[in-house]
C-alpha cells in the first residue's frame, strides 16, 4: 500500500481539486479523503505538491526496432516516467515499420517488460508505401490501438478515404501527419526564416493546412473520425475548427514546442531546433494556444523524437534529422508557456495531458477516483529548474537546454508502484 499525504489532488475528469490524501492498494486507488491512515504503508509527503493523474502522451518515437542507437523502449520508458507520464503511444516509423502482426508482437513484447503502459499504433500503409493498406483487423486483434504513417503524409486521396472507412469499420480512427511534399521545400525550416536567412524554400504553411483541409473534408464526407497530428499553423487551427462546426469528427493535437517557441529559435539553437513541422511565426504560436483554449485542439502530445548526437550535430543543418526529445520537458513547457503565461488554468492543462488523450483512445486512465487506476504524477507546479543535458532518454537533442522552466516532477506512480522519484524528493 502507498499513502500520499497532503497533496493538492486534481482530477480533470470530475473537476475535483482539494488538498487531501490518496491511499493506493495494488493497482487501484482505494480511498481519497482527509487524514487517511493505514498501517504498514509507505508514505509519500506531497505537501505543497500537485497530485494528478499520470500524464498520457499519444505521440512518441521510441525507435525500436532498428534505430535503437537513438532510443529504445526501455530508455523511452525511463524518459516518460521522469516526465510524469504513465501511458504513451509509440509511432510506427521504425525499421522495419510496424506494418505486420509479427513486428507488432515483437514491439508489444518489449513494451510489456517496462513499468509504464506503452501502447503502439501500426502503419496505415504497408511499409509506408502510401498505397496499400495494412491488415487493420489483424493488427488491432494483435494489440495495435490505432493507425498512423506519422512522418510521411498520405498523398493519395483514395488511400485516405479507404483508410478512414477501414478504420471506422473496425471501430477506430487514423492519425495523419499533414505536410504535402509537393508544396514543400526543405523540411524543418519555416518558410520565412528559410528564405530570409538560409536562402532556400522551406516548409510552407500551405503544405500543412491545405492537406488538413483535404483530409477533414474526406472524413466529413465519409462520416468517419480523423485525428490531426502536431498542427502548427494558424490556418490549420481554423480549418479544424471549421470542420468541427460542420459536425465532422475531427480531433487534433499540438506539440509543446509549437505553443512555446517560434522559428527564431533555429538561429539560437541550430540543429536541435529543427523539427517537422517546423517552429513557425508568433502569430501561429498564439493561434495554437487559442486552439488549446477553445478546445479545438484537445490534446497536447510531445512528438518525442530522439536522435543520436552524431546525427543531429552535423555541420550542414539541412542534413540534420528533424525532431527533438520531448517527454522530460513537456509538463514544464505547459506550466511555463500556458499556465504561468495566463492562457490555461492548471486544470485545463492537465485535461489536455490526461483525460482527453485517454478518452480519445478509450484508455482506462487519465483520471483520479476511488477504484480508479493507480497511475499518478506528483509535481511541484511552481518550482523552477534549469534544463540540462541530463536526460533519462538516450538523446539530449532538446532546444530547451539552458532554459529555466517551471515544474519539477517528484514522483511518477504506475499501477501503484513508484516508477520515478526525483533526487530532490
For the chain, report the end-to-end CA distance as a whole number of angstroms.
19
Q: Annotated binding residue at 8?
A: no
Tally the residues of the chain: 425
Residue 308: Cβ within 10 Å count = 17
Pick from 43, 34, 38, 41: nearest CA to 4: 43
Q: Annotated binding residue at 303?
A: yes
Beta bridge partners of 363: none
Q: Annotated binding residue at 356?
A: no
Pick from 291, 370, 363: nearest CA to 28: 370
Q: Annotated binding residue at 173?
A: no
Q: Annotated binding residue at 304?
A: no
Q: How far apart are CA 230 and CA 326, in angstroms?
A: 13
Q: What is the DSSP string of 110-163?
A: HHTTSSSEEEE-B-SBGGG-SSSB--HHHHHHTT---EE-TTS----HHHHHHH
* Integer-rounded Cα radius of gyration of the chain: 21
* 318 SS3 class: helix
Q: Is 303 a catalytic residue?
A: yes
Q: Annotated binding residue at 61?
A: yes
**Residue 244 class from Cβ within 10 Å (0-12 exposed, 13-18 middle, 19+ buried)?**
middle
Q: Which of 21, 72, 149, 303 is an active site residue?
A: 303
Q: Annotated binding residue at 63?
A: yes
Question: Are the C-beta atoms of residues 385 and 407 closer than 8 Å to each other?
Answer: yes
Instruction: List residues forming the annotated binding site.
Output: 59, 61-63, 93, 150, 177, 230, 276, 303, 307
Instruction: List residues forming the annotated binding site for Zn(2+).
Output: 59, 61, 150, 177, 230, 303
Instruction: List residues forming the annotated binding site for substrate.
Output: 61-63, 93, 276, 307
- Positions annotated as catalytic residues are 303
Amino acid at each position: 500500500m502507498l499513502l500520499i499525504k497532503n497533496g493538492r489532488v486534481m482530477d480533470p475528469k470530475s473537476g475535483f481539486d482539494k488538498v487531501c490524501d490518496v491511499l493506493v492498494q495494488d493497482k487501484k486507488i482505494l480511498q481519497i479523503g482527509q487524514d487517511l491512515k493505514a498501517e504498514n504503508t509507505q508514505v509519500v509527503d506531497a505537501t505543497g505538491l500537485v497530485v494528478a493523474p499520470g500524464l498520457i502522451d499519444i505521440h512518441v518515437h521510441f525507435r525500436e526496432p532498428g534505430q535503437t542507437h537513438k532510443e529504445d523502449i526501455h530508455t523511452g520508458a525511463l524518459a516518460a516516467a521522469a516526465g510524469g507520464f504513465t501511458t504513451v503511444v509509440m509511432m510506427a516509423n521504425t525499421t522495419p515499420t510496424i506494418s505486420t502482426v509479427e513486428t507488432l508482437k515483437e514491439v508489444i513484447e518489449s513494451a510489456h517488460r517496462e513499468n509504464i503502459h506503452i501502447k503502439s499504433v501500426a502503419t496505415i500503409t504497408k511499409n509506408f508505401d502510401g498505397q496499400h493498406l495494412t491488415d487493420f483487423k489483424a493488427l488491432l486483434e494483435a494489440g495495435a490501438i490505432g493507425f498512423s504513417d506519422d512522418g510521411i503524409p498520405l498523398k493519395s486521396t483514395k488511400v485516405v478515404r479507404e483508410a478512414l472507412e477501414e478504420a471506422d469499420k473496425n471501430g477506430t480512427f487514423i492519425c495523419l501527419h499533414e505536410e504535402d511534399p509537393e508544396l514543400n521545400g526543405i523540411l524543418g525550416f519555416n518558410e520565412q526564416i528559410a528564405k530570409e536567412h538560409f536562402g532556400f524554400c522551406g516548409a510552407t504553411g500551405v503544405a500543412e493546412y491545405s492537406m488538413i483541409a483535404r483530409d477533414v473534408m474526406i472524413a466529413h464526407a465519409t462520416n468517419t473520425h480523423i485525428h490531426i497530428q502536431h498542427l502548427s499553423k494558424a490556418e490549420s487551427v481554423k480549418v479544424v475548427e471549421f470542420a468541427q462546426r460542420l459536425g465532422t469528427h475531427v480531433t487534433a493535437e499540438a506539440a509543446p514546442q509549437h505553443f512555446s517557441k517560434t522559428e527564431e529559435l533555429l538561429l539560437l539553437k541550430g540543429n536541435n531546433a529543427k523539427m517537422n513541422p517546423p517552429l513557425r511565426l508568433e502569430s501561429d504560436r498564439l493561434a495554437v494556444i487559442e486552439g488549446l483554449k477553445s478546445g479545438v485542439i484537445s490534446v497536447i502530445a510531445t512528438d518525442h523524437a530522439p536522435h543520436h548526437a552524431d546525427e543531429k550535430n552535423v555541420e550542414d543543418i539541412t542534413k540534420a534529422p528533424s525532431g527533438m526529445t520531448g517527454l522530460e520537458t513537456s509538463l514544464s513547457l505547459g506550466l511555463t508557456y500556458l499556465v504561468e503565461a495566463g492562457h490555461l488554468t492548471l486544470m485545463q492543462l492537465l485535461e489536455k495531458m490526461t483525460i482527453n488523450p485517454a478518452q480519445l483512445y478509450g484508455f482506462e486512465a487519465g483520471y483520479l477516483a476511488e477504484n480508479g487506476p493507480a497511475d499518478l504524477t506528483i509535481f511541484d507546479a511552481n518550482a523552477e529548474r534549469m534544463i540540462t543535458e541530463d536526460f533519462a532518454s538516450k538523446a539530449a537533442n532538446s532546444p530547451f537546454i539552458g532554459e529555466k522552466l517551471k515544474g519539477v516532477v517528484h514522483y511518477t506512480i504506475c499501477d501503484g508502484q513508484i516508477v520515478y522519484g526525483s533526487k530532490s524528493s
